[in-house]
Amino acid sequence: MNTLVCGQSSKAIDNKPRLFDEIRNVARMRHLSLRTEQAYVQWIRRFILFHDKRHPRDMGEAEIRAFISHLAVDRSITASTQTVALSALLFLFRDVLKKEMPYVANIERAQKPKRLPVVFTRDETKRIFAQLEGTHWLIAGLLYGSGLRLMECLRLRVKDIDFTYAQITVRDGKGEKDRITMLPARLKQALTRQLQKTKVIHEEDLRAGYGEVFLPYALARKYPSAPKQWGWQYVFPAAKRSIDPRNGKQRRHHLSETTIQKAVKNAIRQTRISKNGSCHTFRHSFATHLLEEGYDIRTVQELLGHKDVKTTMIYTHVLNRGGRGVKSPIDL
């Protein structure tokens, strides 16, 4: 029995540790995030199990097509999840196994629903903020006041905050793009206090013999002292140090996104707002409220970091005032 994924030992399993170790090595060489690496490993493992534990080098386009179609038809996964699964398999064949892999055609695609974004009104936003405090309030403020995605906010480094020019530099945003957005005046004082607390934590870590932070793109090898420098520290550090699974070093990572998501969800429940909102709803509200104020859509596009203005245009739905700007006859 071929036991590539499960079991302990056999000639077939000889490739198991090598394959998944190589997947992780290539992922790190390509500077994929740990989250992406873990997702890819999961989908590749499921792909192998689906095909009775055959080794991927003995499979190809037909097996990829069968697996992805199975996910859409039999498992009813969302279109975005299907895209991640396909990306994982293309990464496996093209980057790890070095097999020529043309566009995988004739896949049964999950239908991506066309939904308008949920947006909080200004009053709803104020009510939610009234239920938040401390770090949770500040992070939610940056999501709404600067249009940040949650992970962009949590991954902010000290050096990315510019109080003089009142701006925030977002590094490696979606699509590995950098951008600059505004730093709201209302948040400056709270952000200053947060940095003071972070500085104390960092100095305590240094005294304990730690104080390193993860640096992307092999910067730690190029600048050996940088991981301990103040400017590279996360603005929102985790409460405890943890072991980095990529190299076994004990570091202080950034705050967990789950903590903020739970706080925001709880705040929404307390306000009795019926909308299915989340942390990302603050970003939607940021864009919508700016457009309501008459700001140019290209400016909003740049602040959000959208590649195509068509993505930003979805927020113009609220400007239509219901039926595409047409007054109801009962209001005439």
Complete edge-to-edge strand list for the sheet that includes strand 161-162: 161-162, 167-170, 179-182
Whether 174 is catalytic is yes
Which one of 251, 283, 284, 289 is the catalytic residue?
283
Which one of 55, 179, 228, 280 is the catalytic residue?
280
Whether 249 is catalytic is no
Whether 315 is catalytic is yes
Which one of 155, 253, 284, 306 is the catalytic residue?
306
Which one of 174, 228, 249, 317 is the catalytic residue?
174
Whether 283 is catalytic is yes
Going by C-beta distance under 8 Å and a sequence separation of 6 or more, which residues neighbour residue 120?
Answer: 128, 273, 275, 277, 281, 282, 285
Whether 149 is catalytic is yes
Which one of 24, 149, 253, 284 is the catalytic residue?
149
Whether 306 is catalytic is yes
Catalytic residue ranges: 149, 174, 280, 283, 306, 315
